[in-house]
Every structure is written in structure tokens, then in C-alpha cells.
Amino acid sequence: EVQLVESGGGLVKPGGSLRLSCEVSGFTFSDYTMNWVRQSPGKGLEWVSSISKSGTYIYYADSMKGRITISRDNAKNSVFLQMNSLRDEDTAVYYCARDVMLSFGGVTMLLDAFDMWGHGTMVTVSS
Amino acid sequence: EIVMTQSPATLSVSPGERATLSCRASQSVSSKLAWYQQKPGQAPRLLIYGASTRATGIPVRFSGGGSGTEFTLTISSLQSEDFAVYYCQQYNTRDPVTFGGGTKVEIK
């Protein structure tokens, strides 16, 4: 069974830092690009960051660029999101999510749609 | 950044009826469009990718169509478990991928 389990959320003051973790099981982690997506209370979905299979390619949303660092440890089946200089508007549920993988004729392709999601971890930024 | 616009914001439908949701992209995304369903307190669930391909385990009453800038998600006969919020997402442009604002499907 595929599982993604986030942790590390909590209450932090403006300007503070948090490190989110997402530990996965049930699939070959190193075969997949991994992503973080957030959702502010009562709002829609916002992509935050992505990291390729080996960590070579990394992308950040402009809203958090310069304040976050995504990383992964393929030996530990985990992806991380270090968040610094947090603001009130960063309050959200943060989900980790896996890229869709298509396989045909021995060839695999990753799509930047997300087929497996964790349950999310809540980050609250408030004084 | 590609802006995704969903309509309507809320759709009131009776069980057993057909529901059609729309999603428009500010520029062409080819067929790189996904649909998600989200229920309160739950993570999103992938329904459709490639504009029209159902994800694993998704019932056939869910179908996607369109290409370029105009897309639809159709639920052929609404079941009680289908009342939820639906989001579209483009992934033609990787940086950033973008989501629509969502359509809430509620019981009429």
C-alpha cells in the first residue's frame, strides 16, 4: 500500500522556521519526482515546490522562493521542506504528493500531475 | 504563469443528475490538464490526467474532455459520494504548475 506521511507542522511565530518531512512507503521512492502543495484555510490548492528523482532539478513557487529549501533522502524514502522567515500568509495545510508515472514499452514518463498525496501537516504562523 | 479559471464556483445538482464543470487556461496547455476531487478534511484525489484519462480506480461516470484552453469534467450521474470540491490543474508549464480556484458541487 502506498503511503505518504507528513510531519513537522505546528505553531510558529512570524519570522520563524519549520522543517517539514514526508516519509513514504509502498513504492520505489527514487523513481519519482516529489512535490509539496499547500492549502490555506478555506482556500484552494497552491503548488509550493518540486524535486526530481535524484534531486538534480528543483523548483519553487515565487511566493516562497528564497525562504524555502526542498531536499530528499532516497535512502530514507523521505522528502523535506525547510521553511524560513515564515509569514502569516504561509498558514496552511502542507501536503506532499507524488508525480504520476506512465509506463509503456519499458519506458517510463513522469507527469507533473499528482496521483498520491499524504494527509497533510498544518502550519500555523501567528504571534 | 498560466492562470486557470473554473466555473461555476458552485454547482447545485440533484443526485442522479449530470454535472458539467468547466476549466479555462489563460494560454494553451495542450492536453496537460488534471482534475482532482477533494472532500472536507481530506487530501485531494486525482480523477483525470491528460485531460481525459481516468486515474486508477476512478469510476467511469467521471469523464474529462477538451484541449488547448477549454476543458470540462463531466459526472454522468451524481452519487452521494461525489458532492465535493473539484480542482483543475495544468502541468504543461512545470514552473509553476497551477490550479484553478475550484468548483463546489453541492446537493440541490
| In the predicted structure, residue B104 carries a pLDDT above the cut 90 | yes
Residue A71 CB contacts under 8 Å (≥ 6 apart), including other chains: A51, A55, A79, A80, A82
Mean pLDDT score of chain A? 96
Chain A contact for B52 (CB, 8 A cutoff):
no
Over residues A59-87, the mean pLDDT reads 97
Cβ separation A59–B45 shorter than 8 A: no
Digit-coded pLDDT (tens) for B32-88: 999 999 999 999 999 999 999 999 999 999 999 999 999 999 999 999 999 999 999
Neighbours of A82 (CB within 10 A): 14
| In the predicted structure, residue A104 carries a pLDDT above the cut 90 | no
Q: What is the pLDDT of residue A83?
A: 98
Chain B contact for A5 (CB, 8 A cutoff):
no
Over residues A47-71, the mean pLDDT reads 96
Neighbours of A42 (CB within 10 A): 5
Residues of chain A contacting residue B95, judged by C-beta atoms under 8 Å apart = 59
Residues of chain B contacting residue A48, judged by C-beta atoms under 8 Å apart = none
Q: How far is B95 from chain A (nearest CA, A)?
A: 7
